[in-house]
Amino acid sequence: MPMRGFLLGLAALCAAAAAPAAAQPHPQPPEIAARQYILVDLASQQVLAESGADQRAEPASLTKLMTAYLVFNAIRDGRLKPDQALPVSERAWNERKGGASVMFIDPRMKPHVDELLHGLVVHSGNDAAVALAEAVAGSVEAFVQAMNRQAEAWGLKNTQFRNVTGLTEPGHHSSARDVAFVAAKIIADHPAMFPIYRVKSYTFNGIRQDNRNRLLARDPTVDGMKTGRTDAAGWCLVATAQRDTPAGKRRLLSVVLGAAGDEARAAESHKLLNWGFSAWDAVRLFEPDQALATVPVWKGALPEARLGVAAGLVVSVPRGEGARLQSSLTRTDPLVAPLAAGQAVGRVKVATAGGAAVAEVPLVALQEVPLAGWFGRTWDALRLWIR
C-alpha cells in the first residue's frame, strides 16, 4: 500500500489514513523496557503502540537511515552508480579513531558505492557514511544540510542533524516517531535498495563483520533494519518484519530507543513485533480501484462515474473485530463534470459495530469524466434546474 499516512510524518498518520486510533478499544501492549518506542503497521498505516514516541532523543547510528535515504536518492537520480569507485578522504579514514564502527577503508582504496552502502548498513560504518556523504554533496556539511532540508520537508519536527554518523553532538536529535517515518520511507521509496538491510554479514578487504541486528538470525520474517548505540542514546533498534496473513502480506515496523543492552534491544523489539501480529488483525476492506458505487454524472461525456478508494484500504483492528466492521460513504450530490481521476467527491468511513471510528478516507472518482458537448451540458443544466 502507498505511504499515504506516513507522508504526514506519522504525527497525523491516523488523520490521513484513519480516524484517531484511540476511538477503538486498544489491546494492552506488553511492558517494553526502553525509554521510547513505537510500533507501526505499514499495511494500514496505523500506530499500534507507542510510549514517549515524540520525545526528543539521541538517535545514535539510526541517523544513518537518513544518510542512506539520500544516497539511495542519488543512485535513483543517476548522480551515483552502484559500481562507481569513490575516493576515501582523510576525514573518512579518521572515523576509525575512538572505537567507532567502521568498515576499515583508507585513502589508498577506491571502494565502489555498493561496497560503501553495505559498509554503511551492515557494518554501520562511520567511515562509509562520510565517504558517501562527500560523494553526494561534496562535503559532509553540505550533506547534513540536505538531511535537515529533507527532514523539514517531511515535517519531522523533532529531528535535527549535526552529522551523518549519529555520534553525540549538541543539537543532534530525533524521536521514535520520526525515526519510524524515515525507515518507512526507505521501504516505500527504495524497495530495490531495502534488501541490503537483511544482509547478515559482509566482508570487505578480507574483514568480515556481522550485522548487529540480532533478530535477523532469530526470526526469518525479520528483514531489517538498523541498530544504534552511544553512551547517551543507549541501545537502539529499528526492526521490521513481514508475515503472510489472510489480508495479504503484512509488515510491522518497531523502533526501540534507549534499551539497556544489545540483547535487551533485540528482545524488546521482538516482543513488540510478535504482539503486533498476534493482538491485531489487518483487514483488507477494499481493493485498489474497486468500485464502491456507480453514480450518475451531470453534464459529463459519460453518464456515470465509478467511485472508490484509489489505493484500496487496509485497517488494523483488535484480533477478532474484523468481521464486525461497518462502512458507510457520503458523496457530493449532484455530481457534476468535469471529474479528474482521483478527485475527491466524498468520504468513506469505517467503524466498529459499536460505532467507534476505525478509518476515514477520501471517496474518489476512479475514472476521468470530461465535459459533454454543448447540447449535453445544456440539456443537463435544464434537468438540474427542474430537479
Q: Which strands sit side by side in the sheet containing 46-51, from one edge to the other?
A: 46-51, 36-41, 248-259, 234-245, 222-230
Residue 61 is a catalytic residue: yes
Could you name the CATH architecture of 5-18+27-280?
A: 3-Layer(aba) Sandwich (3.40)
Helices 176-189 and 140-154: angle between axes, nearest 10 degrees: 100
pLDDT at 14: 35
Domain coordinates in residue numbering, the chain: 5-18+27-280, 287-386
Expressed in angstroms, the distance from the first to the final Cα of the chain is 41
What is the number of residues in the chain? 387
* Active-site annotation holder among 44, 64, 254, 316: 64
Confirm if 21 and 30 have CB atoms less than 8 A apart. Answer: no
Q: Matching CATH topology for 5-18+27-280 and 287-386? A: no
Question: 114, 7, 93, 39: which is closest to 279 by C-alpha?
Answer: 39
Overall pTM surpassing 0.85 (yes/no): yes
Amino acid present at 141: E
Spatial distance between the Cα atoms of 188 and 152, rounded to a whole number of angstroms: 19
What are the tens digits of pLDDT across the range 53-71?
999 999 999 999 999 999 9
Q: Which tops the pLDDT comparison, 80 or 305? A: 80
The H or E element spanning position 184 is helix 176-189
Task: Work out the pLDDT band at 16, boundaries 50, 70, 90.
Answer: very low
* Active-site annotation holder among 44, 89, 101, 124: 124
pLDDT at 18: 36
Report the CATH fold assignment for 287-386.
Peptidoglycan synthesis regulatory factor (PBP3), Domain 2 (2.60.410)
The answer on pLDDT for 272 being more than 60 is yes
- Count of alpha carbons within 13 angstroms of residue 250, beta-carbon side: 25
What are the tens digits of pLDDT across the range 115-144?
999 999 999 999 999 999 999 999 999 999
- DSSP 3-state of 158: coil
Cell 518506542 -> residue: 37
Spatial distance between the Cα atoms of 197 and 224, rounded to a whole number of angstroms: 5
